[in-house]
Structure 1
Amino acid sequence: MNSRISTSLMYDLSLATMLARQKKLSQLQQQVATGQKNITAKDDPVGVGAAVGLDRSLAELERFGLNANTVNHRLGLQENVLALIGDDMIRINELAVQANADTLSDDDRKSIAAELRAIRDNLISLANSTDGTGRYLFGGAADDVAPFSRVAGGIAYNGDQTQRSVEIAPGSFVQDTLPGSEVFMRIRTGDGTVDARMAAGNSGTGILESFSRSTAGGWNGESYTIRFTAGNGYEVFDADNNMVGGGTWAPKTDIEFGGLRLSVSGQPADGDELQIGPAGTRDVFATVQEMIDALEAPVVTAGDKAARRNALQASMRDVARAAENMIDARAAGGAQLALVDDAASLREANAVTLKTTLSGMRDLDYADAITRFQLESTALQTAQTVFTRMQGLSLFNLLR
């Protein structure tokens, strides 16, 4: 069998070799120019697909960073507002102590009431603070309208009880600002567990000095009414108005029953009452308003003076609870800000890892690429030289 290589076949083979070398050389030129291993997805479909997935992860980290910036901004503003409110609470307590002094005149108390009214208005303004983008800090999820508004009889809360949870790193969430209902409205009264108050219609001079749970324990959370009787006597009634105890008392001496204790000074009138039981809730605006009303109420009799003192002391207790609530709110916000900082470190570490991996998948090894480029250039020049010499080969040259 004879094998024969035709002239056209030699031309085709030479041309195919040069074109292949030129294609490879062109690809290497593009790689060197762009600094990328893969010019198109077909160069490495699996690697390019994996790189796209890492790009998405990086974009997600950027989105988490934007989320973190937004919630960090809002929490920082919440901290500033609560700090100002804390200063107002301190001033309210100072004014309450000052107003409780017997040496003040009615004009002095009216001046204190005027300052308290200005502080209350400032509290409302602070409670309606925004984040600078038109969203209210303390409105919960309904933060497109002012959360607090004046209505007949007090202040109404227009927001909801939702506290947003924002993802600021993969699997890491932080709570947005607190809803105003938790910061300003649902504040425990009394000592936070038990509350006691002299009845508004009392005519005697009895002053509630202190109250608490008994050290012996035994309180089941029930409410009681104490009715004072003649001869320093008293009767205790439960919530169903059933008499469950009684006895005699002495000023500033503890009265104990049902796991509770209290102390009264002055002289309650026959039929005067005192309620004691689980602490309820009151908004801070109503507490300040109660102080204002007590200071502006006319004082004619000794009973009126005692009622004012009882009202002021009750308000001072509630102001103390409100101040504690503001401190708790600041602490909660501070904890969330710490989480934001921790998440920033996590995002940064993840971003470095992703970028390093992407660099290994995409970035060109210039030393290797330039070496291969020189080899391909040499191979192309060799193929061109061979082709040129091949063109001179002919049987007619041998016959000459």
Structure 2
Amino acid sequence: MRISTVTMFEQSVSSLNRQQADFMKVGQQIASGRRVVNPSDDPQAASRAVRVAQSQALTQQFTDARVTARNALSQEESVLNSVGDAIASARTLVLQAVNGTLSDADRDSVASELRGIYETVLGQANATDGNGRYLFGGYRDSSPPFVRDPAGDVQYVGDTNTREQRIDASRLMPVGDNGDAIFRSVHSSAGYLAEADAGNTGSLTFAGPDTVNAADPDYGSRLDITFAVAGDVTTYSINGGPAQPYTPAQPIQHAGLSFTFEGQPADGDSVVMDRAENLNTDLFATFEKVLSVLENPATSASDKAALNNTLNSALREMDNSLDNVLTVRASVGARLNELEVVDSVASNRQLNYAEAMSDLVELDYVSAISEYTLRQVGLQAAQKAFVDIKGMTLFDRL
């Protein structure tokens, strides 16, 4: 069979092109560091690599979200730390003011220092994250959550919801706490408080209440204690019950509580005892009522009794507020710890994804360089063969 010169040239050129293509493909793989440069190189591996890359991108997105969440929680934790210290300092001042030997001028000096702490706490409650977003406004974070009304009282105008952020596919984490839950609430474990009626005119003071029997069937109920004075006889009744003789400094036990009254009440004076969450839970209102009694002279017996009762109630309210702030701060710390755990899990997941991606599309340089050398030799051989075949002609035999 005779082979024409055209056929011989076509086959040689085709072989050269094929060898050149294989050589260039290996060179491209080495240059890119990938075994699968185009999906056609390994369709199955390329398809799986797309899914792995999507998982990597999603994991990275959650990682970025955790960075944002960590920054927000760290800022909140720092502010709550300052608030806790401020409440502790305020409590120390109130405890100092309870001292009956202080003069009106001394109490006014304490009030001045306490007002500075009050303004500090209010400023911390309106703290921002550095980007103009208020930490404790909930989702309404573009304006201060705590504002003073025309009467000078601090009101919460923020949102009562808690901002949340998805930090992982299966975890939606709160990344902030609203100011209502921090500065206007108490922990569920807060016990009883006592408050004297603002209209009392006697010198009645109280101590307690203290829990002595939480299993009492009436424990947890509200106690309205009203005093009646007829001549030289003073009696009290609880929740409209029968009148009982009043004896100063005599402990009274009722509904699992123990409390003591001293001084002489006026007819109609009253005291309320109830669970802390049912009375004043507003930290700023506590500051206001303490400042009100400290900044006004206490001259009469009823003024001194009101001063003593207000400060004693405020001490317990501040204790409850401090416990609540510390509880929220502990929750923030727990969430920061959780972020560390989720970060560790995500880091391991990313390593697994990287290993899977390497197995699917990454290049084995040893094998690739060996094949590159082989393809180079093959291409050179094909070129040499083509040159030799091209030179074979019958004219050389004539």
Q: 1:172 Cα deviation (Å)?
A: 3.6
TM-score using structure 2 length: 0.91
Does residue 19 (structure 1) correspond to residue 26 (structure 2)? The answer is no
Q: 1:278 Cα deviation (Å)?
A: 3.1
TM-score using structure 1 length: 0.90
Match of 1:236 among 238, 252, 255: 238
Q: 1:341 Cα deviation (Å)?
A: 1.3
| Alpha-carbon distance change, 224 to 158 in structure 1, aligned in 2, over 3 angstroms | same
- Is residue 195–residue 271 contact of structure 2 (8 Å, CA) maintained in 1? yes
Does residue 275 (structure 1) correspond to residue 282 (structure 2)? The answer is no
Look up the match of 1:375: 374
Partners in 2 of 1:247 and 1:150 — Cα distance?
Answer: 44
Give 3-state SS (helix, strand or coil) of 1:340's partner. helix
> Once the two structures are superposed, what CA deviation does each residue of 1:211-236 show, in whole Å capped at 9, x if it has no partner?
14452611164323222233242122
Look up the match of 1:240: none
Which deviates more, 284-293 or 169-178? 169-178
Partners in 1 of 2:391 and 2:199 — Cα distance?
Answer: 128
**For residue 331 of structure 1, what is the amino acid of its counterpart?**
A
Give 3-state SS (helix, strand or coil) of 2:194's partner. strand
| Alpha-carbon distance change, 4 to 329 in structure 1, aligned in 2, over 3 angstroms | same
Look up the match of 1:185: 184
Q: How many residues align?
A: 391
Match of 1:147 among 142, 145, 148: 145
Does residue 134 (structure 1) correspond to residue 136 (structure 2)? The answer is no
Does residue 248 (structure 1) correspond to residue 250 (structure 2)? The answer is no
Does residue 331 (structure 1) correspond to residue 330 (structure 2)? The answer is yes
> Once the two structures are superposed, what CA deviation does each residue of 1:123-146 show, in whole Å capped at 9, x if it has no partner?
111111111111111111111111
**For residue 57 of structure 1, what is the amino acid of its counterpart?**
S
Look up the match of 2:35: 37
**For residue 361 of structure 1, what is the amino acid of its counterpart?**
L
Which segments of structure 1 move beyond 6 Å, counting only runs of 4 or more? none
Q: Give unmatched runs, 5+ long, in structure 2.
A: none
Q: 1:291 Cα deviation (Å)?
A: 0.3
- Is residue 63–residue 343 contact of structure 2 (8 Å, CA) maintained in 1? yes
Q: 1:51 Cα deviation (Å)?
A: 2.0
Partners in 2 of 1:232 and 1:48 — Cα distance?
Answer: 92
RMSD between aligned alpha carbons? Answer: 2.2
Partners in 2 of 1:352 and 1:363 — Cα distance?
Answer: 14
Give 3-state SS (helix, strand or coil) of 1:282's partner. coil
Partners in 1 of 2:190 and 2:365 — Cα distance?
Answer: 71
Look up the match of 1:9: 7
Q: 1:184 Cα deviation (Å)?
A: 0.6
Look up the match of 1:49: 47
Partners in 2 of 1:115 and 1:358 — Cα distance?
Answer: 64
Look up the match of 1:321: 320
- Is residue 210–residue 264 contact of structure 1 (8 Å, CA) maintained in 2? no
Partners in 2 of 1:98 and 1:59 — Cα distance?
Answer: 59
Which deviates more, 103-112 or 273-282? 273-282
Give 3-state SS (helix, strand or coil) of 1:32's partner. helix
Which deviates more, 329-338 or 160-169? 160-169
Partners in 1 of 2:187 and 2:386 — Cα distance?
Answer: 97
> Once the two structures are superposed, what CA deviation does each residue of 1:78-124 show, in whole Å capped at 9, x if it has no partner?
11111111111111111111111111111111111111111111111
